[in-house]
Amino acid sequence: MNNQISQSTRQEIEDGKTFLGIELGSTRIKAILIDSEMKPIASGGFDWENQWENGIWTYSLETVWEGLQVTFANLRKDVAEKYDAKLCRVGSMGFSAMMHGYLVFDSESQLLVPFRTWRNNITETASEELTELFQYPIPQRWNIAHLYQSILNQEEHVGEIAHLTTLAGYVHWKLTGRKVVGIGEASGMFPIDGDTKGFDDALLKKFDAHVKSHSFRWKIKDLLPGVLVAGDEAGHLTEEGARLLDPEGSLEAGIPFCPPEGDAGTGMVATNSVEVRTGNVSAGTSVFAMLVLEKELSRLHPEIDLVTTPDGKWVGMAHSNNCTSDLNSWMEIFRQSASALGLEVSTGDLFEKILPLALEGDSDCGGLLSYGYVSGEHIVGLSDGRPLFTRTPDSNFTLANFVRAHLFSALCALRKGLDILTVEEKVEVDEIRGHGGFFKTPVVGQRIMAAATKTPVSVLTTAGEGGAWGIALLAGFLVRKDQGQSLPEFLKPIFADGMEEPVSPDPADVAGFETFFERHRIGMPIEQAAVELLSSHKE
């Protein structure tokens, strides 16, 4: 690193002119520190996994704080090693996390039931009833679906609820004392009113009327957090919060916070996809595509989430719970196979060598068929997951086709949702911007995604930073709000030189995906039978 640049960055760190974003993802907690030019300068992380406990996918709150503390400590270490500086203050900061789920607390701020994550497909009845009641799509993952399912299940804790929030909202609350979320995060909790930029008051009242017979002491509005938009100040780091994040005691209280956002919103920011006719795909453990709409959808589509950008524009969201998990498991098998042969290969090298083989396979994967559903998948009607691979005896069973089939399979549920937006609703998008682990291997992820979406796919040079960078940018926007810029205006110069050339759909890849997609559709009864006939160790 140029010494002059290093000294300049060190001064910004010591003067508290940097911005910090931390995101709690499905498999990793990541912190990104950015400078005054909004460029990443240091990072820290913590690997974690959800746990299956008593029929629920969950993370313990103890692990949440352990992970955040380790992440911040690793960030501070990175800063010290790179710049010989001590990280004590920043200009502003923010938190993001995987959206949805169920975190409920009583009047004493005690957690009432273990955190139920987005991955739980246990609210089908509630989702369907609320969608019908509101005439608005309420996916199973949404917080209100989890609350209503708990009511339907007659769970005792419901009457004691004083606060319902998300993971990002919870962390923000504990660090600042404020029960608020950003509008993008809020739009995955309960329907939003596009005019007021808050929860839809008419639907809040409709929900209260619907559950009136239960005689709860609360109204739904009282349980939900306040809603803020990008650029709003969302509180300051308290002394208690500073020690909670940094037990060592170096981090100073008083740092302003931007509104906490979900990973969908930070993904939009991290790919500069917050203006109409733009779209982004976040692909990793799960995959979702966000298309910023020019107008509201013509009718109700239960398969599509209606959410918003962090500054309140409508977004059509096609979401799949499953993406790379099954492929990652196969890659681990390959690593173990290499190890058995006396070859020690790193995970990174393995992906770098194996994934490009997919581009050498037959366009339609040679007749192979894979279902990568590790968990249930609402958009294809699966209540639970059964990863499955099958083929006909005359298929072209090669490693290249095997890898290609798993990459194609990872996007089939997503494609079904996108067809609703682009075919039925005629939503137009000029380019899709990708981020997440699916795109880490150069070219491969872009070509496969372009084939599945039939749209040019670009990747940012900072795509690997993902949502942590997105929430850091929103923290930066908070400080720059007095310049009178809109969020798109703020982001435009930041991304001026950071976008790689888009990869256009290859006609052969597109035709091959269409053939595979139809094979995937025809074979779904096989996957359904596996769910019905093969019991899981979890059950």
Token readout for 19 is: 């911005």
Q: What pLDDT is stored for residue 79 in this prediction? A: 97
Closest Cα to residue 500, out of 451, 448, 439? Answer: 439
Q: How many C-beta atoms lie closer than 10 Å to residue 344's C-beta?
A: 8
CA dist 22 and 38 (Å) reads 15
Token readout for 341 is: 């042969």
Q: What pLDDT is stored for residue 467 in this prediction? A: 87
Token readout for 177 is: 């004392």
Q: What pLDDT is stored for residue 538 in this prediction? A: 52
Q: What pLDDT is stored for residue 5 in this prediction? A: 63
Token readout for 409 is: 């399979």
Q: What pLDDT is stored for residue 462 in this prediction? A: 56
CA atoms lying within 13 Å on the CB side of residue 248: 13
Q: What pLDDT is stored for residue 1 in this prediction? A: 54
Quick one: CA dihedral 512, 514, 515, 520, positive or negative? Answer: positive
Q: How many C-beta atoms lie closer than 10 Å to residue 501's C-beta?
A: 9
CA dist 420 and 265 (Å) reads 21
CA dist 205 and 224 (Å) reads 13
C-beta of residue 408 within 8 angstroms of C-beta of residue 361: no
* Range list of H helices, 15-157: 61-83, 124-134, 143-152
**What whole-number percentage of the chain has pLDDT above 90?**
81
CA dist 532 and 523 (Å) reads 15
For the stretch 145-179, pLDDT in tens is 999 999 999 999 999 999 999 999 999 999 999 99
Q: What pLDDT is stored for residue 539 in this prediction? A: 47
Phi, psi dihedrals of residue 37, rounded to the nearest 5° = -95, 10
Phi, psi dihedrals of residue 382, rounded to the nearest 5° = -100, 125
Q: What is the CA radius of gyration of the chain?
A: 23
How do the pLDDT tens digits run along the chain, 539 residues long? Answer: 566 668 899 999 999 999 999 999 988 999 999 999 999 999 999 999 999 999 999 999 999 999 999 999 999 999 999 999 999 999 999 999 999 999 999 999 999 999 999 888 899 999 999 999 999 999 899 999 999 999 999 999 999 999 999 999 999 999 999 999 999 999 999 999 989 999 999 999 999 999 999 999 999 999 999 999 999 999 999 999 999 999 999 999 999 999 999 998 998 998 899 998 889 898 888 898 999 998 888 899 988 889 999 999 999 989 898 999 999 999 999 999 999 999 999 988 999 999 999 999 999 999 999 999 999 998 898 989 999 999 999 999 999 999 999 999 999 999 999 999 999 999 988 889 887 789 989 899 999 999 999 999 998 765 556 789 999 999 999 987 767 889 999 999 998 876 778 999 999 999 999 999 999 999 999 999 999 999 765 54
Q: 197 in helix, strand or coil?
A: coil
For the stretch 53-69, pLDDT in tens is 999 999 999 999 999 99
Q: Which long-range contacts (CB under 8 A, 24 or more apart) does 395-400 make?
A: 395/366, 395/367, 395/368, 396/362, 396/366, 396/367, 396/368, 397/366, 397/368, 398/361, 398/366, 399/354, 399/357, 400/357, 400/358, 400/360, 400/361, 400/362
Q: What pLDDT is stored for residue 62 in this prediction? A: 97
C-beta of residue 387 within 8 angstroms of C-beta of residue 373: yes
Task: Give the H or E element holding residue 348.
Answer: helix 347-354
Decide the pairing of beta strands 163-165 and 180-182: unpaired
Task: Give the H or E element holding residue 415.
Answer: helix 412-419
B/e letters for 347-362, b = 16+ CB within 10 Å, e = fewer, are eeeebeebbbbbbebb
Token readout for 517 is: 């997609």
Q: What pLDDT is stored for residue 365 in this prediction? A: 98
Q: What pLDDT is stored for residue 464 in this prediction? A: 52
